[in-house]
Each structure stands twice: as structure tokens, then as C-alpha cells.
Amino acid sequence: MSNDILVRTRALTVDFSCGMTFLRALDNVDITIQRGEFVSLVGVSGSGKTTLLNAIGGLIVPTSGSIIFNSICFDSMNEEERTIFRRNHIGFIFQNYNLIPSLNIFQNICFSAQLSQKSITAQQVEKIAQQLGIEDKLTQMPAELSGGQQQRAAIARAMLASPSLLLADEPTGSLDSVNGRSIMQLLRTAVSENNMSVLMATHNEEFALQTDRIIHIEDGKIIAEESKK
């Protein structure tokens, strides 16, 4: 793991409102993520894990505070600039997969890399599909796959684009323990061999303990951090 900071948040706050109801989803969150670091984000449902991932990834605009990504401040970008930056530098693994139903699995896996105009080959797609155990599903449509198989396709899509930062929201949540461990090994390989940074929200204590650092979040606040190095 390098000592370079890839992402830094300062006093990051996100408020949501619906009618008369007000919710502070993130409350003055300060974190840093190093280049080539694997960090897990741990907390109960509703603690702010997904909101933090979405804010760091530029999917939502914070109410206040700042996000510095590779020395560039998200605050200074308009929506179009954030979209282009996100496409080129950030990968997402969503809880609900977000596969495109009209594309087959091969096309879905290629999608993010093609959007960012990265050169990929069929061999690269087949290799990562084999690593994830879906090499025989490449010509099928998302609706023909199980939830676990769709999750693995979504993971392949995110990793094939080789982002600087991979934001993973419960990436092993719909997988059995064997497949979950294989995903963790693949993520660790991406960190060690490609100097990719990973921020992973998880409920799985076993998998959290395999990361370099654990950040505990509760009611939108960071309450503790543990270094595993």
C-alpha cells in the first residue's frame, strides 16, 4: 500500500428531506483513502454506508463539506464534469446490480470500460468472467441469471474498467460463502497488482477483517477506525 492519499473528505454532510421529515444521513464525516488501500465500511442498515459511497462517487451532491479526489475538488465541478470524472476514475458495484436488461452479459461487462473509451479485448472479458465463474453466461441476458450470477457480472463490469477507486456496496451480499471468498480474493488481487483502492460497505465481519482498515459508521458519523496492518 502506498502512502499517497487518493480521496479525502472533510466535514462531509448530507441532509435529506421529504415533506416535513428531515434526515441527516452523513454528519461531518472526515475520512482518507490511500492509493492501493482496501478499506471496509461497517455499520448497521441505515447508518450511512451507501450515502457515503454515493457522495464519494459523485452520485449525490453533499449539503456541505468537501471531497478531494486525486487533488481535485468535486465541489468545483458541474454535473457534466463530475459525470466524466466518475466515468474515467471511479468504479461502482451496486447492491441492485444495475445491469442493462437489453444487453447480454458480455456486453454488460464491457459497458463501463467502453464508456470511458478504454481499450479492452474479448480475452480480457473472458478471463475475468472465468475468474468469477460466469464464463458460460456471457451470451445470456441478465434476466436469465440468478441474483448471485448478476452480482458477479456487475463486479466484472466494474473491475474491467480498472478504476482508481472501486466503491463496492455489499459486493458479497447475494453470494454464498465460497463465492464471497473468491470475490474477496479478486478484490485483494486488484488492490495489490493494480494499485487500485477499494472502499467496501459490508455487514460481513469475516470479510471486513481481511481488509487493510475498517471504518465504523453509526447514525451518519464515523465512530471508530481499526487498522489491520
Bridge partners, 72 (sequence order): 69
Q: Could you list the residue range(s) of the whole structural domain that residue 103 is in?
A: 37-58+80-227
Q: Which amino acid would we find at residue 111?
A: F
What is the number of domains present in the chain?
1
For residue 1, the model assigns a pLDDT of 46
For residue 3, the model assigns a pLDDT of 60
- Return the CATH number at 120: 3.40.50.300
User: Is the pLDDT reported for residue 229 higher than 70?
Assistant: no
Can you say whether the dihedral through the CA atoms of 178, 183, 94, 5 is positive or negative? positive
User: Is the pLDDT reported for residue 117 higher than 90?
Assistant: no
> Residue 66's closest CA among 108, 11, 18, 113?
11
What's the start-to-end Cα distance of the chain, in Å? Answer: 10
DSSP string, 119-150: ---HHHHHHHHHHTT-GGGTTS-GGGS-HHHH
Predicted confidence band of residue 152 (pLDDT cuts 50, 70, 90):
confident
Indicate the average pLDDT of the chain: 90
Task: Establish if 96 belongs to a structural domain.
Answer: yes
Render pLDDT for 11-34 as a digit per residue (tens, 0 to 9).
999 999 878 888 999 999 999 999
CA gap 217, 224 in Å, rounded: 7
For residue 107, the model assigns a pLDDT of 95
Render pLDDT for 188-220 as a digit per residue (tens, 0 to 9).
888 888 889 999 999 888 999 999 999 999 999
Task: Establish if 1 belongs to a structural domain.
Answer: no
Q: What is the dihedral of CA 123, 108, 152, 84, to 10 degrees?
A: 100
Task: Establish if 203 belongs to a structural domain.
Answer: yes
Rounded average pLDDT over 144-171: 90
- Percent pLDDT > 70 in the chain is 98
Predicted confidence band of residue 115 (pLDDT cuts 50, 70, 90):
confident
Task: Establish if 196 belongs to a structural domain.
Answer: yes
CA gap 191, 186 in Å, rounded: 9
- Percent pLDDT > 90 in the chain is 59
- Using an 8 Å Cβ cutoff, are 5 and 165 in contact? no
In b/e form, how buried is each residue of 46-62, taking b as 16+ CB within 10 angstroms?
A: ebbbbbbbbbbbbbbeb
Task: Establish if 75 belongs to a structural domain.
Answer: no
Task: Establish if 18 belongs to a structural domain.
Answer: no
Predicted confidence band of residue 2 (pLDDT cuts 50, 70, 90):
very low
- Using an 8 Å Cβ cutoff, are 52 and 26 in contact? yes
CA gap 222, 215 in Å, rounded: 7
Task: Establish if 95 belongs to a structural domain.
Answer: yes
> Residue 159's closest CA among 83, 92, 66?
92
- Of the listed ranges 42-46, 57-61, 179-183, the least confidently predicted one is 179-183
Q: How much is the pTM?
A: 0.89
- Using an 8 Å Cβ cutoff, are 81 and 192 in contact? no
Rounded average pLDDT over 28-57: 95
> Residue 82's closest CA among 108, 62, 109, 111?
62
Task: Establish if 179 belongs to a structural domain.
Answer: yes
For residue 148, the model assigns a pLDDT of 84
Tabulate helix, strand, coil % of the chain (nearest 5): 35, 30, 35
Render pLDDT for 62-104 as a digit per residue (tens, 0 to 9).
999 999 998 889 878 888 999 889 988 999 988 888 899 999 9
